[in-house]
Amino acid sequence: MSTKPTNASGAPQAFWLWVLCLVGLDYFSSLGYQPSIAFEAAGPAAPLATVVLVIVTLCGAFPVYAYIARRSPNGQGATGLLERTVHGWLGKFLVLVLLGFAATDFVITKTLSIADAAEHLIHNPLPAWQQLLQVLGTADDSTRRLLPFAFWRDAVGHWNPRLLVALILSVLGFIFWSIFRRGFRRRVLQLAVASVATYLLLNAIVVASGLLYLTTHPHLVVNWWQELTQPQSYGEPSMLWGANWSSVILLCLLAFPKMSLGLSGFELSMVVMPLVKGQPSDKPEDQQGRVRNARKLLYVAATIMSLYLLGSTIVTTTLIARNDLLEHGPAANRALAYLAHGSLLVDGTPGNALNSLFGETFGTIYDFVTVLILCLAGTSVTLGLRSLVPQYLHRLGMELTWAHNVGAIMHLFNCVNIVIIVIFRASVTAQRGAYATSVLVLIGSAALVGGLDLWEQRAGDRVRRLPWYFLLVGALFLVSALAVIVAKPDGLLIALSFIAALLLSSIISRVLRSTELRFEGFEFQDAQSQFLWESLKYLEFPILVPHRPGQLSLLAKEESIRMRHRLAPDIPVVFVEATLGDASDFYHKPLIGAVQEDGRIILRVTRCTSIAHVIAAVALELSRVGKPPEIHFGWSAESPVTANVNFLFFGQGNIPWMVRELIRKAEPVPARQPPVVIG
């Protein structure tokens, strides 16, 4: 496997097929629980409901993310596209909302994957392993004597072997930190390729063996068909369930929200896009080669998963008894592993009739590989979250470089994962609603963001510009998400908790860092502006006068300043006209246009996030050579409370006082600090 370190971060860029395996850790690992989820959602109609899921995947999710990949080739995904499309505080708030659901998606991916890995382990029939689990499961009496009764009374209800195994797997997952701590590097790609290839091979053996068995035992297909067309045999009456195809189709459509877990992986594919190697001719502003390869990755991943979902659902629905597939059954959340172990089929036939390899040895190998890929899936999405969140919080004013370097972010999310595992008792079933909510909201939001971006690019009247297809796809996913939220609001509550935490911490950080200069340098409109700017640094005694366009004329402003501040006519005065840009941005790189009009020098500064910060930055830059300039202000009638609020959130309040504070903090030497004069 060849990789080439070309990213600014030093991460390798690799052949798109290898990166696909990295995405597959999350995407393909859902085969561990998806077949039984499909049966719980749609009963005997699970294969038909899976067809609906496949159609939505190939015709809905894939086109959306193919477009997102073209518009954000550097890995920002729908969140980055939203940030570029919707500006101001509304845009920042919507970004935080998406980050909250992304955090929910990635965190629940890990906790649910760990829970399903524990499900595979506790059902492994190895005698020594089962004896150990029995000891762990009956440790109540011995442990009870060691704990206070009140604590035990609260904790005993949560205790079960699956929870213990899940917690052990979570702790052992910290070992992967030594491999993953530096990001998606070459060793991570190699591990992903090896584990995903092995996992897909084992699943191919199980699914192909089942399909081949069905071709030689058609009565099983006939029995399934009769059960499908005679729904009363299903045993759970429903007003929607009747012996006609319209009811079957409606049931399949209604089952889609519950089955949407099979769509996991699309968001991670956007995060890892920078790892996809493009063409040598690609440029930073035009990366068509990478985009084409990323689209190949998306299409191949969606196609492979669609084939496996269809095959696995057909095999498990027709070959495994109904009660075994439902919750608390031996095949629940591990249907393919059930077949790999050679367990009894629906007609009582031993499972090794599918394939002579199936049994305790093959099943244990299957369990081990499945547990490995599920644990790697959780670790990979945590790393993806670590790569996604800090870049946006940095632009909101949260400096997380130190936390990123020491791994604090990953450890924080690992602790959150453990808490969620305990709360949900490591139950796959209990976490499915939260997982489905986050997946559906993210894909639906991506469709709407892509549609908004496409609408802005199109010409013509508003109706013709509307991207109807993206709007329909977005509506489908968001309505499905609403249905899941109404049934199980866990996902919404977790997402709101993340959103509240991000919002509160970003506000606190912004307030605490409000007196930092946040300056990333100036850019100039033209060469003449830059020349005039450089010339200003060598003036003997420059006076900077902030001027708000649209009020007093420059002549009136100059006369007023010279009279009130007693400035001689021969003292040069430089006017600074700062035009506020997006005040919600934290860092800024202003654009200067310097001109001379009627003998006056005027600095017209645009792209300002804060008027005070720009004036302070201009004064500090001009003080690097010679004597620092003076900044002359007039008094403001603004109340202190209004001034401070305007400064923090709208970039234009309490200007004289904040300029002084910004200069004082940015320049520690008093002699080099430009004086601030208010009169």
Q: Are residues 251 and 360 in the same domain?
A: yes
Q: Are residues 194 and 242 in the same domain?
A: yes
Give the range among 2-11, 341-350, 486-495 with minimum mean pLDDT: 2-11
Q: Are residues 48 and 161 in the same domain?
A: yes
What CATH code is carried by the domain that includes residue 122?
Answer: 1.20.1740.10
Domain-terminating residue out of 479, 511, 543: 511
pLDDT higher than 60, residue 238: no
Average pLDDT, stretch 586-590?
86
Are 228 and 19 within 8 A, CB to CB? Answer: no
More confident residue, 381 or 235: 381
Q: Are residues 300 and 406 in the same domain?
A: yes
Q: Which helix (H) or strand (E) holds 5?
A: strand 3-5
pLDDT value at position 1?
56
Q: Which residues contact 71 (CB under 8 A, 6 or more apart)?
A: 81, 450, 453
Q: Are residues 459 and 603 in the same domain?
A: no
Q: Are residues 149 and 239 in the same domain?
A: yes
Q: Are residues 506 and 530 in the same domain?
A: no
For residue 274, give the amino acid letter.
P
Q: Are residues 527 and 498 in the same domain?
A: no
Domain membership flag for residue 518: no
pLDDT value at position 210?
95
The SS3 assignment for 568 reads coil
Average pLDDT, stretch 140-149?
52
Average pLDDT, stretch 577-585?
84
Q: Are residues 469 and 549 in the same domain?
A: no
Averaged confidence pLDDT in the chain: 82
pLDDT winner (highest mean) among 205-214, 347-356, 597-606: 205-214
Q: Are residues 426 and 568 in the same domain?
A: no
Domain membership flag for residue 489: yes
For residue 56, give the amino acid letter.
V
Domain membership flag for residue 516: no
pLDDT value at position 5?
47
pLDDT value at position 180?
59
Domain membership flag for residue 119: yes
- 623-639 pLDDT tens trace: 887 788 888 887 666 67
pLDDT value at position 143?
52
The SS3 assignment for 406 reads helix
pLDDT value at position 197?
95
C-alpha span between 227 and 243 (Å, rounded): 10
- 161-206 pLDDT tens trace: 788 888 888 877 766 655 555 555 777 788 889 999 999 999 999 9
Average pLDDT, stretch 106-118?
90
Q: Are residues 496 and 618 in the same domain?
A: no
Percent of the chain past pLDDT 90, that is, above it, reads: 30
For residue 163, give the amino acid letter.
L
Domain membership flag for residue 405: yes
pLDDT value at position 141?
52
pLDDT value at position 580?
86
Are 616 and 580 within 8 A, CB to CB? Answer: no
Q: Which helix (H) or strand (E) holds 536?
A: helix 527-536
The SS3 assignment for 387 reads helix
Q: Which helix (H) or strand (E) holds 607?
A: strand 600-608
- 253-287 pLDDT tens trace: 889 999 988 888 888 888 888 888 888 877 777 78
pLDDT higher than 70, residue 148: no
Are 485 and 491 within 8 A, CB to CB? Answer: yes
DSSP alpha helix (H) spans, 217-321: 218-229, 245-259, 266-271, 288-319
Q: Are residues 436 and 541 in the same domain?
A: no
Domain-terminating residue out of 462, 477, 511: 511
pLDDT value at position 2?
52
What CATH code is carried by the domain that includes residue 668?
Answer: 3.40.50
SS (H, E, C) 32-55: HCHHHHHHHHHHHHHHHHHHHHHH
Count of structural domains, the chain: 2
C-alpha span between 14 and 37 (Å, rounded): 34
- The pLDDT confidence band at residue 382, using thresholds 50, 70 and 90, is confident
For residue 167, give the amino acid letter.
L
Q: Residue holding tokens 């760990």?
A: 114
pLDDT value at position 9?
47
Sheet of 676-678, strand order: 523-524, 591-597, 600-608, 573-580, 543-546, 630-633, 676-678
Question: Encoding tokens for residue 293?
Answer: 């390869």
Domain membership flag for residue 586: yes
Give the range among 1-10, 70-79, 103-112, 638-647 with minimum mean pLDDT: 1-10
- 211-222 pLDDT tens trace: 999 999 999 999
Domain membership flag for residue 115: yes
Domain-terminating residue out of 447, 481, 511: 511
pLDDT value at position 8?
46
Are 446 and 78 within 8 A, CB to CB? Answer: yes
Which residues form the domain of 173? 3-511
pLDDT higher than 60, residue 233: no
For residue 427, give the amino acid letter.
S
- 16-59 pLDDT tens trace: 999 899 889 889 999 999 999 999 988 899 999 999 999 999 99
pLDDT higher than 70, residue 562: yes
Domain membership flag for residue 517: no
Model pTM score:
0.85
Are 206 and 333 within 8 A, CB to CB? Answer: no
Average pLDDT, stretch 547-557?
75
